[in-house]
Amino acid sequence: MSALLELDRVNKDYRIGGFLDSSILHAVKNVSFTLSAEKPEIFTIVGESGSGKTTTARMILGNETPTSGTLRFMGQDIAGIRSRADRLKFMAKAQPIFQNPFEAFNPLTTLDYYLYSTARRFLGIKDRGGVEAATDKALNHVGLSLAEVRGRYSHELSGGQLQRIAVARALIPGPRLIVADEPVSMVDASLRMSIVNLFRELRDTLGVSIIYITHDLSTAYYISDRVIIMHRGDVVEAGDAQSVLGNPQHEYSRALSGAVLPPDPEEARQIIERRMAGAV
């Protein structure tokens, strides 16, 4: 079995503070996991702010280099990518989805500019017709068409639509891996499910593996195959999503899963009443 992505004892330290009182922050500690190349999956990293989940994502995308340990993507050391040509080759296979769809597109640039640029650069298509065909095909995968997007600016579309366009853009070069950092936390509830369902479809129909990074356990449970829970840089629990989230073992995972409010007034009310009796 060959690996699509392999993290081997990855560490990332930051030096924080000034000249005199600097200290070391261990943002990511000894993280190891492997995504198989044969079987696409949705792999979820759950954690709160400061857990190291975003740093891990940035290292996978090559935006940060690890302090120690290696990250290998399709056999290649990600930190070793130097030249622009190699970098483009890597980016064609590993693409990001960002947190805030309104921030991910420049408000003063039309959305199609991002799509065309991706098609030109990664697919090497020169003529306008070819670029548009490739763009339209990618947009079709997310339930949109070029006619709806051409010439539009980000403020003309909803967060959910923008996020789908972002996914379509990421799909253009034909990636094997998509790293999505909190992709639904800024998207309205009525549109959230359309993004989450889209990830499932990408996995099943296009065979794209997805690293889904979130603090929301409910959507993590809803779409993940496997999950790791991170806490202050450590992976505290890892495994199959149903068992890790449905029946957490580690103390922190249990606290996290206990903090999720159920979508039912009676149950939720009982939890709050218990807290009121206990805490205050």
Partner 1 sequence: MFKILRDLLRYNIEFTIGFVLTLAIFLFALAHFWAPLPAEAIYLLPPDMPPSAQYWLGTTSRGQDVLWQMSAAIWNTMLFGLTVTILSRLLAVAVGMLSGYLGGKWDQILMTINDTMIALPNIPILLLVYFVMRDSMSWPVLAATAALLGWNYDARLIRSVTLSLRNREFTRHAVFAGMSVPQILMRQHLPYVMPVIFFTAMNNLIWAIGLEVTLSVLGFSDINRPTIGGMIYWANQHQAIIAGIWWWIAFPIIAIVLLFLGLFLLAISVNEYIDPRSRLSRMGA
Partner 2 sequence: MNADVLKVEGLKAYYQMNYFGVRREVRAVDDVSLTIRRNEIYGIAGESSSGKSSLIKTIAGAITPPLRVVDGSVKFDFDGRTLDVYAEPQAMKGARWQNLSYIMQGSMNVLNPVRKVKHAFHDFAFKHMGLSERDFWAKVEQHLQRIGLDPRVLESYPHQLSGGMRQRLTIALATVCEPDFIIADEPTTALDVLVQQDVLALIKDVQRRMGASIIFVTHDMTVHAAIADRIGIVYAGRLVEEGPTLDVFRRPQHPYTAHLIGSLPRIGDSRKRSALPGKPPNLADPPSGCRFHPRCPLAIDKCKTDNPALLPRQTGRVACWRAGEVEAA
Q: Does 140 bind partner 2 (CB under 8 A)?
A: no
Residue pair 151/119 in contact by the 8 Å Cβ criterion: no
Dump strand ranges (E) for the chain.
3-16, 23-36, 42-46, 68-73, 76-77, 94-97, 177-181, 209-214, 226-231, 234-240
What is the DSSP annotation of 232-271? TTEEEEEEEHHHHHHS--SHHHHHHHHTSPPS-HHHHHHH
Q: Which of the choices partner 1, partner 2, none does residue 27 contact, using the CB cut-off of 5 to 8 A by kind? A: none
Residue 272 Cβ, how far from partner 2 at the closest point, in Å? Answer: 5
Q: Which of the choices partner 2, partner 1, none does residue 275 contact, using the CB cut-off of 5 to 8 A by kind? A: partner 2
Q: Which of the choices partner 2, partner 1, none does residue 161 contact, using the CB cut-off of 5 to 8 A by kind? A: partner 2
Query: Could you tell me the two tokens for 84?
Result: 């622009």
In the stretch 103-142, what mask flags binding to partner 1 with x, by CB under 8 A? xxxxxxx---xxx-xx-xxx--------------------
Nearer to partner 2, 80 or 262 (CB): 262
Residue 191 Cβ, how far from partner 2 at the closest point, in Å? Answer: 6
Residue pair 182/150 in contact by the 8 Å Cβ criterion: no
Contacting partner 2 within 41-100 (CB under 8 A)? 48-49
Query: Could you tell me the two tokens for 26?
Result: 């261990």
Q: Residue 16 carries which DSSP code? A: E
- CA gap 212, 54 in Å, rounded: 11
- The residues that bridge with 72 in the sheet, in sequence order, are 6, 77
- CA gap 276, 38 in Å, rounded: 50
Nearer to partner 1, 95 or 224 (CB): 95
The residues binding partner 1 (CB under 8 A) are: 61, 63, 88, 91, 95-96, 98-100, 103-109, 113-115, 117-118, 120-122, 153, 155-156, 166, 169-170
The residues binding partner 2 (CB under 8 A) are: 48-49, 157-161, 188-194, 196-197, 215, 217-219, 221-223, 242, 245-246, 255-257, 259-266, 268-269, 271-272, 275-276, 279-280
